[in-house]
Structures are given as C-alpha cells and as structure tokens.
Amino acid sequence: MELKHHNRYNYSPIVERRDFSWPGERRLAFYVALNVEHFSFGEGLGHTPTALGPPPDQRNFAWRDYGLRVGIWRIFDLAEEFGLPLCHLLNSTVCAAQPQIVARIRKRGDDVVGHGRTNSERQADLDEASERDLILEATRALTAAIGHPPKGWMSPWIAETMHTPDLLKEAGYQYVMDWPADDQPFWMRTRAGPLLQVPYPIEVNDSPTMLSRMQPATDFAQLIVDQFETMLRLSQKHPLVCGISLHTFVVGQPFRLAQLQRALAAIVKNPDFGRVWVTTPDRIADYTASLPPGTLAEG
C-alpha cells in the first residue's frame, strides 16, 4: 500500500539536526498562548463543557461569552502578576465587538496571531476562493485593530484545507501554528515559497485536557509543570519550544485559574528559570528565520 503524503516537509529526526541556541545561549523557549475566540449565537461551531443544548443553546453560548466578559481580564492580571508576555490567537470579529480587549492587548504590547474570523466556522469546510477571502478579511480587520499585519496564523479549530499554507504565504504570513509535528520550528513548502511552522501545543492545552478528555483542573496544572520541567531537561541536548495553550472561557473559570496560578508559580520559581527564554511565537519566528540556512529542518 502506498500512503499519501502532504509534501509540505520531509522527515527529519531531531537527533540529526544542526545544534543552535536561543538568544543569550538559552536552550528552552517558553511562551503562553491565549485563544481569544468569538462565536455566533444559535448557529455554527462552539466549545461546550457539557452536552449540547437545543437551539439556540444559550447556555453554552453564554458559557463561552463568559471568557470575554470575565475570564480574559483575570488572565491578563495573572500574566502581569508573573511578568509574562502573552500571545493572543485572536478571532478578528473580537476587534469590533470587544474593542476593550484589543486595547488591553495593545497596552501590554502582546503578540497577536491571526485566528480566523470566528471559531463558529472552520477553513476546512471552504473552497479555495472562500478560504482566501476569509484569510484576507480577518487579516485586514486585525491589521486595522493592532496597527500592523499579524506575522503568524493558527486556523480556527486548527483545521486546514489542502491549500491553507499556500494561501497564508501568499497573504504575507511568516509562520503558521497548525502542524504540531515537532518541538522545534521547521520550514514548510508552499507554492509561494517557504513558510515557518512554530510549535503550538495540542496536549498542553486546557480545552482538550479538561473538555475533551474530562481531566480535572489539578491534572492540567501538573501537566504544565511536568511538560516544562521535562523539556527544560531535554533542552540540554536540543533547543526546544515549550508552549502553554489557554482559552478564556476554560481556564478563566476561577477554580481552573487557581490551578494555572499554581503551575505558573512553580515554573517561575524553578531554580533554572533564569536559563529559559520567556518569549512569544513572533520572536521565535524572527529569531529562527535569521539562523543560517540548514539550521532548521527544511521542507
């Protein structure tokens, strides 16, 4: 049987790659990503902590809306408590509907990664022309709101079509976060030239952990700490990227926020935390793109 291949990148075992270090001779890059998602009422896709309700399912819509009304503001405060930058995976419809959120992001100087128009839709359901329109519409709105075009993109629901990397490269994006195949950035092939893939965690992620697998918040806290400590040790051999993925309506709930606070406290109090590059995906992309050709795995 001949298996189909995406032809976006080649197989590259991490043990055969050229070594490098992050700025300041650090070996582990650490970032926190916050999904800032906006949903249509009574239609489309949406996360849920329980069973779906009958249309218009106001209960689950309101639970998601809690993240933008309450949860995100507590997460902002927690990030400032620990002096951590955030990377916001931002639905473009947030810019018009909740401008106070964008103002706080800009005041903090955080990164914004394009995350489609809304998580009520998926690019994977669209034809190529419609997907191109979605990317361009979201990019225009985000550019107007944050003052510059976003450098990176993560598709809503991390769902792509066969054309997504090509369309992103053609729209001017420098990197994507849809392919969780590695602990290092790597180059992907597109019809318009190379596109960087920056690691994004689907395991160290509050939504699949606590909504899909139904693990308790205490498990998520331990998962974060175990991932960080293990990757810090492994980074002695290979430079790595350790990311944490959060959603406003999941970890923004007080009992889960308490566990996130414990996990972040354990990380920043780690005696080797000073050896970690606390950063964002934009900075990771800028730095790795400046490395000599052949340093990263290539498509």
pTM for the full model? 0.97
Please give the pLDDT value at position 52: 86
Q: How many domains does the chain have?
A: 1
Q: Is residue 298 part of a domain?
A: no
Whole-angstrom Cα distance, residue 103 to residue 194? 33
Residue 218: give its domain's CATH number.
3.20.20.370
Flag whether pLDDT at 92 surpasses 90.
yes
Res 44: pLDDT: 94
* Assigned domain for 177 exists: yes
Q: What is the mean pLDDT of the chain?
A: 97
Within 10 A of 138 (CB to CB), how many other CB atoms are there? Answer: 24
Query: pLDDT band at 240, cuts 50/70/90?
Result: very high
What letter represents residue 272's amino acid?
D
Residue 278 CA to residue 203 CA, distance in Å, equals: 20
The arithmetic mean of pLDDT across residues 27-50, rounded, is: 95
Q: Which domain holds residue 28?
A: 22-39+57-289
Asked whether residue 74 is domain-assigned, the answer is yes
Task: With cut-offs at 50, 70 and 90, classify the pLDDT of residue 16.
Answer: very high
How confident is the model at residue 218, as a pLDDT? 97
Q: What is the pLDDT averaged over residues 183-205?
A: 98
Q: Residue 147 — left, alpha, or beta (φ > 0 → left; ψ -120 to 50 → alpha)?
A: left
What region does 250 belong to: left with phi over 0, alpha with psi -120 to 50, or beta?
alpha
| Domain assignment of residue 86, yes or no | yes
Contacts of 212 (CB under 8 A, 6+ apart): none
Domain assignment present for 133:
yes
| Per-residue pLDDT band at 274 (split at 50, 70, 90) | very high
Tell whether 6 is covered by a domain. Answer: no
Identify the pLDDT of residue 51: 83
**pLDDT tens digits, residue range 55-69?**
999 999 999 999 999
Complete DSSP assignment for 42-96:
TSS----SSPPPSTT-HHHHHHHHHIIIIIHHHHHHHHHHHT---EEEE-TTHHH
Question: Could you read off the pLDDT of 97-134 as tens digits, one per residue?
Answer: 999 999 999 999 999 999 999 999 999 999 999 999 99
Q: Is the model's pLDDT at 299 over the cut of 90?
A: no
Residue 3: inside a domain, yes or no? no
Query: Which tokens hold the place of 285?
Result: 């992309």
User: Does residue 228 lie within any of the structural domains?
Assistant: yes
pLDDT digits (tens, 9 = 90+) for 215-235: 999 999 999 999 999 999 999
Tell me: pLDDT of 50 over 90.
no
What per-residue confidence (pLDDT) applies to 244? 98
